[in-house]
Every structure is written in structure tokens, then in C-alpha cells.
Chain A
């Protein structure tokens, strides 16, 4: 019997495990995938000429095993080990309504391959549903999260700068990664032409200047390699493997079991409380059960919904913690796809090192009040860098000495912006269990129905126009533009399938991320999100995990759960 079980070892589970262990709870961490060793299992040593098949995963393999995962920018032969084989982990979507579920099943989950952009939600984000009536109100406000944002940022290490923007709160930052000269020029032009907009350096979970508590965990400063998605042997960015799990481990309170696929959460019919977790061993396919006083479900937005739905029993025929019928619903991602690139003039300078970060333009639409024809807003990620060799070589015709001579030199300044828009919660965007199909471990497959609504599509259109206008304001000649929205899911910010709320009739979790129906069950991954904001969400999942771990341990001490 453990004090706590944490289901999932990724971004949320890692922090939940650390916090529970540090509060003295004997904690079992269950990971469905294989064990990975920090450093030893990474391919970050591979030089360009050592990459198998020049980094390109064989096309027949992509088609057979990775038809969904291959859509992700970070899939290559140096990261191939981290992506699930879609052929082994199927799910269904309606005809013509794709959903791209990008994931990895291994210790640390997507905290290994994440994009590392790290932003807080603001008061504006946490009150947006209340303001326009879409979805339900968040049961918490910024002040509830702020101390936990502080704590998590300090622990994981976030490079950034304080900007004093109400829609993107400041935080506890390590030194910022400076802008290129092209970016400084771009920033000045955008801010001069659009006084409501700010161009800031991206905030990312990298150690620009490790603090003693980072060094104690064996973490080192960022080396500016931009090979991050392979795993970083320097431990320079926060992942479960470099950071949260080692912190949990050193307390002596953590037990880690990999290759344990959670089938369901077991409850006591008399009390309605969770008593443990039933797992299927990935390799032997044998079932076993672990027991604990409290359970943290951090299996990822869609994975956690699957576990709840599959925990159905006589008392809970719709699934566990689902008296509201909201489990699996309100699936969101960020509106993502519109991208613009352009060539611009700039100073005769270059840059050295590969900065694993870029520019960020925080949301500027509907900030103070609702004043556009559409709801909510969007932000941009991007950068202004010298065009690299491959672009220079391919940009215009040329062969022989001429081609070599041109490619030898850094190219022109290229500005790039990609939008990330807030997707409205919609109860019809949902995951359900397939009526008959199961995976090779006997767990029902998922059916995912998710599509962009009219407001989401409107954001896509305006973000494209805005991006073009900003590039033009900086004097850029547009060389590439697309307004096409990627299928939902490909933003890899899926969230919302077990939302928080004040009312048990319309929400799954209360303000402590505690299931209304099951008091000793906490869900702290993206499933808990009530609205999506337009910021990269991992920091919020981690803050909710730390906060919920505190409350869970207090409730245990008080004997109330």
C-alpha cells in the first residue's frame, strides 16, 4: 500500500511525483512505456554526418508505423525512439475530421520532446469563459496559481525577461537569451507601427545560468546546440528525466515502475473512493493491482480521459468521476498552422550558437475588453535569423562554383511568425471509448471527434493577416505564407477532457484538481483545463500539479480523504 500513486511520468506526473515525495508521501510512479536513462539513451552526440539516412526516417516506415506522428516537426532518425508507432496505438476519427494525437510512451513522456516554451496564464485567461459565456468559469483565478508558478519556474529554470504585461504575467526568470540584430529591428518596427503589440524574447525552460538547486540535480547550462528533442545529456532544459524525477528519487520516497499500462482505477463501491490502480504489464500482458490512499492521474489529456472512461463499473456506468458527463468532452488544442516568412534588410551581423528559443508576441486582441468581431485571441512565435545553408542553396538556380560560393555565406535576414490561437471549449469535441475495438493490451480504443468551430477558423484568418502586416511593417518581402489550419492535435497542446469547475453537475474536478465524485483522485494534466488560453500550457499543468499535491497531502494529514 502506497500513500500515493502517480499515473504517468511526463510533464505533470514528474512534478506531482516530486511534490508528493518531498511532502513525505511514499509514492509509486507508473509509466506505461519503457525505461529511458537520462544521457545514456539520448542521441544528442550524433553529428550531422552520423545521422542514419541523413536524419530522415525511411518513408515506408513513416507510412506504415508513423502516419500521424510524422506530421510533427521533431520526428527524425535521432528522435525516432520517442514517438509511438501509430500502427500499435490506433484510434479512430470521423471521416474528414482528422485529429493528430502526437505522443511518446516512455519514461518522461513528452517532457523529453517538448518545445520548452514556458508561459503563465493571466487573469484575463482565467476569466475568459465567464466573460463571454463559452465553457464554464474556472474555479480559480490568477492569484491561486501565482505562488505555484513561482515555485515551478524556480525549480525548472526558465529563461526570460519581465515585461510588465497584464496578459502575460512576469515570473521568476533566469537571464534572457538575447535577440539577434534582425530581431531587434523587427521588434522596433512592430512596436512603432502597432502600439498595442509587444515583441519579446521567448520564455523557455532552459538553464541560462543554473542555480545551486539545479546543479545539485546534475543539471548544466544550456550549450546552444538546439538538439533538444533528442534529449539533452547536459540536462539543460527541464524534463522529467533531467529534473523532476531525480528530485523525487532523492527523497527516498519514490518507487518507479515502467512498462505498466494503466487499465483503470479501482474504487470501493461502499465509499466511492479510489483504492488503487489496475495495470497491464506491457511486456507480459499480465494484470496486477497497486493500492494507495490517493491517486494522481497525469496520463495526458486524452490518456487520462481514456483511463476514467475505462474505469466504468456498475456504480459508474459512464466511467469514473463522470456523473457530470463531462469526461472526454471539451477537447481543445491551439489554433495552429498560419505561418508567414519574409526576407528583410538588416545590419551586417550574424549569430553564433543555435538558440533553442525564439521571439514571442503576446496576445493583443480583446485584451482589455471584447472589441473584435471574434472572441479571444492569439499570440505568435517566431524569430529573425540569417537564412541557413539549405535555404540559401535552394533559393535560386545555380550550380558548381557559383552554388558553392553562394551557399558558403550566411543568407539574408529571414523573419518568421507562426500563430497560436485560443480554441473555444465545445462539449461536442470529445473522446469516447470505441464500442468494440481494443488495443493489443485489451484496452478499448478511443474515438476522437474534434473540429475547429467558426471562431477558431476566424482566428486563423486574422492571425495570418496580422503576421503579414507585421512582417511588412519591418520592411520584409513575404516569401512564404500559409493560412491553412493544421488538424487539431498538431499544436500538441491538447487539453480540457476533465475540466475543473465549481459545480459538480457541469465539471469533473473542483478547484483543487480533485474529482468531485472521487475525493482521493486528483487530475493535474491538460485534462483539467477549462479554457485553453493561447500560451503554451505545460507550465500551467506543472503549477496545478504542485498545487494539487500540496492540497492532497494536507487533506491526507487532516484525514478528510
Chain B
């Protein structure tokens, strides 16, 4: 068990080195360390770096935590290891790799090595071309986004979540400040 923890930590450190340590705060490290671990790490360091960069670009830190702060990359790795079957795991990884390949072709650099502003511009264009067209990308994006809004900060700091609402209020005012309800059964 200790060995595995060490491996995970080393993997995360190498991810941190790749994407810039500042972008990977301690709470992401902690969340990743808590993610289920069986045997070797679910994803190799370059893949972790890539998924971290993609998740960070999709859901960045703003006035609320982003995908990295809530541990989306590690949760994603956990899902590929403990949820997805081999075929779907390969599809998710291929969808990730396709982003990287396109970045090299179209922006001249691997996605992880693009500066943050270029990453966003590139992914915006890529997203427009691929969402709902490319099934594997669409699923990848949905999964990463879902993991963010399922996280405690995603559900309670970015959105609003009441585990036990205690009442049904069929009509409440909707203002520009109103946040959407989080959770699984909200449409």
C-alpha cells in the first residue's frame, strides 16, 4: 500500500512538473491520493499531464475552484481504472490523444506545452468542431465536466446543493445571481 501511495505521489509530482506546479495545488494532490488505487497507476504521467491540462482549460479556476483544485484529473484516472471497460477506456484515451495531436498540427506544440491563453483558444475551436460530432470527445468532455460539478466545491461553491432540501418550493424568483442546483437528479 505504501509503495502505491509513493508511486502516485511521484506520478503527481511529475505531472506537476509538466504543467507547472502552481497549477496543481495541494488539495488536488490530496484528492488524487485519496482516489482508489489498485496496483500500478491508472494513467501514465504524460497522460495525467494531458488530462490535467484539458480539464484545467475546460473548467479553470475563476472566483471559484476549477477542475484541478477539486481533483478532476485523479478522479478521471480513477474512473478509467474502476469504471470504464477496456474499450471505453481506450476511447477516452484516444479522444485525449486526438486533442494533443490536433494541437501539434494546428498550434505547433503538444497541448500541455501551449501557454494557458493559447490552450483555451485552441480548445474552444476544437470543441466547436467536435462537440456532438465526435462521440468520443463529447463523452470525454461530459465526463470531465460531470466530475467537476459532482465534486463538493463544484456542487456547493460553484453551484448550490442541498442534500436535504426539506421543502418543495415550486416557484422562487430567478435573478442574474441565482445559481443552478447541483446533484444527480436535476434534469
Q: Do A225 and B149 touch (CB < 8 A)? A: no
CA distance A500 to B127 in the complex (A): 59
Residues of A near B96 (CB, < 8 A) are none
Question: Does A193 count as interface, using CB distance less than 8 angstroms?
Answer: no
Residue of A nearest to B76 (CB): A54
- Pick from A63, A179, A353, A403: contact of B145, CB under 8 Å: A403
* Contact code string B140-171 (vs A, CB < 8 Å = 1, else 0): 01100111011110010011011111111111
**Chain B nearest CB: distance from A351 CB in Å?**
6
CA distance A59 to B79 in the complex (A): 10
Q: Do B85 and A63 touch (CB < 8 A)? A: yes
Question: Does A398 count as interface, using CB distance less than 8 angstroms?
Answer: yes
Interface centre among A49, A54, A355, A394 (most CB of B within 10 A): A49
A353-B146 contact in complex given A59-B83, A388-B186, C-beta closer than 8 Å: no
Question: Does A386 count as interface, using CB distance less than 8 angstroms?
Answer: yes
Q: Do A403 and B174 touch (CB < 8 A)? A: no
CA distance A51 to B147 in the complex (A): 11
Q: Do B180 and A49 touch (CB < 8 A)? A: no
- Of the listed stretches A35-43, A165-173, A408-416, A517-525, name the one at the interface; the rest are far from the partner chain: A408-416
Residue of B nearest to A355 (CB): B168
Question: Does B60 count as interface, using CB distance less than 8 angstroms?
Answer: yes
Q: Do B152 and A49 touch (CB < 8 A)? A: yes
Question: Does B3 count as interface, using CB distance less than 8 angstroms?
Answer: no
Q: Do B127 and A350 touch (CB < 8 A)? A: no
- Pick from B147, B162, B180, B187: contact of A414, CB under 8 Å: B187
Residues of B near A211 (CB, < 8 A) are none
Q: Do A387 and B169 touch (CB < 8 A)? A: no
- How many residue pairs at the A-B interface have CB separations less than 8 Å? 181
Q: Do A408 and B120 touch (CB < 8 A)? A: no
**Chain A nearest CB: distance from B164 CB in Å?**
5
* Contact code string B74-110 (vs A, CB < 8 Å = 1, else 0): 0100110011110010000000000000000000000
A388-B83 contact in complex given A223-B164, A224-B168, C-beta closer than 8 Å: no
Question: Does B124 count as interface, using CB distance less than 8 angstroms?
Answer: yes
CA distance A53 to B150 in the complex (A): 11
Q: Do A58 and B146 touch (CB < 8 A)? A: no
Question: Does A93 count as interface, using CB distance less than 8 angstroms?
Answer: no
A354-B186 contact in complex given A59-B83, A178-B168, C-beta closer than 8 Å: yes
Interface centre among A47, A353, A404, A414 (most CB of B within 10 A): A404
CA distance A404 to B58 in the complex (A): 8
**Chain A nearest CB: distance from B78 CB in Å?**
7
A352-B174 contact in complex given A59-B84, A397-B128, A398-B127, C-beta closer than 8 Å: no
Residues of A near B59 (CB, < 8 A) are 400, 403-404
A400-B158 contact in complex given A224-B165, A224-B166, A393-B149, C-beta closer than 8 Å: no
Question: Does A257 count as interface, using CB distance less than 8 angstroms?
Answer: no
**Chain A nearest CB: distance from B12 CB in Å?**
20
Q: Do B155 and A349 touch (CB < 8 A)? A: no
Q: Do A351 and B171 touch (CB < 8 A)? A: yes
A59-B165 contact in complex given A48-B155, A398-B127, C-beta closer than 8 Å: no
**Chain B nearest CB: distance from A415 CB in Å?**
11
Q: Do A47 and B149 touch (CB < 8 A)? A: no
Q: Do A54 and B168 touch (CB < 8 A)? A: no
CA distance A278 to B38 in the complex (A): 45
**Chain B nearest CB: distance from A282 CB in Å?**
29
- Pick from A47, A348, A387, A400: contact of B174, CB under 8 Å: A348
CA distance A173 to B128 in the complex (A): 50
- Pick from A47, A386, A408: contact of B187, CB under 8 Å: A386
Residue of B nearest to A178 (CB): B170
Question: Does B22 count as interface, using CB distance less than 8 angstroms?
Answer: no
CA distance A409 to B186 in the complex (A): 13
Residue of B nearest to A57 (CB): B83
CA distance A47 to B151 in the complex (A): 9
A388-B187 contact in complex given A400-B57, A400-B60, A403-B145, C-beta closer than 8 Å: yes
Question: Does B123 count as interface, using CB distance less than 8 angstroms?
Answer: yes
Q: Do A393 and B145 touch (CB < 8 A)? A: yes
In chain B, positions 53-69 with a C-beta closer than 8 Å to chain A are 57-60, 62, 64
Residues of A near B166 (CB, < 8 A) are 223-224, 353
- Pick from B128, B138, B149, B170: contact of A351, CB under 8 Å: B170
CA distance A361 to B149 in the complex (A): 34
Residue of B nearest to A77 (CB): B83
Q: Do A399 and B149 touch (CB < 8 A)? A: no
Residues of B near A403 (CB, < 8 A) are 58-59, 145
**Chain B nearest CB: distance from A60 CB in Å?**
5
CA distance A373 to B5 in the complex (A): 68
CA distance A58 to B86 in the complex (A): 11
Interface centre among B145, B170, B176, B185 (most CB of A within 10 A): B170
Question: Does A478 count as interface, using CB distance less than 8 angstroms?
Answer: no
- Pick from A181, A225, A389: contact of B182, CB under 8 Å: A389
A181-B183 contact in complex given A398-B127, A399-B124, A408-B159, C-beta closer than 8 Å: no
Question: Does B18 count as interface, using CB distance less than 8 angstroms?
Answer: no
Q: Do B168 and A404 touch (CB < 8 A)? A: no
Q: Do B168 and A353 touch (CB < 8 A)? A: yes
* Contact code string A219-232 (vs B, CB < 8 Å = 1, else 0): 00011111100000
Residues of A near B84 (CB, < 8 A) are 58-59
Residues of A near B170 (CB, < 8 A) are 177-181, 351, 355
Residues of A near B75 (CB, < 8 A) are 54
Q: Do B155 and A410 touch (CB < 8 A)? A: no
CA distance A273 to B166 in the complex (A): 52
- Pick from B62, B64, B147, B187: contact of A54, CB under 8 Å: B147
- Can you list 30 A-B pairs with a CB-CB distance of less than 8 A? A47-B163, A48-B184, A55-B150, A55-B184, A58-B82, A60-B85, A63-B85, A178-B168, A180-B170, A181-B170, A223-B164, A224-B165, A350-B173, A352-B168, A352-B181, A354-B181, A389-B149, A389-B159, A389-B180, A389-B182, A390-B146, A397-B124, A399-B124, A400-B60, A400-B120, A400-B124, A403-B58, A404-B60, A410-B178, A410-B180
Please name the 8 residue pairs, one residue from A and one from B, whose CB atoms are nearest each other, closest first: A388-B187, A388-B186, A353-B165, A178-B170, A59-B85, A353-B168, A352-B169, A53-B83
New contact pairs (6) apart from A58-B84, A400-B120, CB-CB < 8 Å: A179-B170, A180-B170, A351-B168, A351-B170, A411-B187, A414-B187
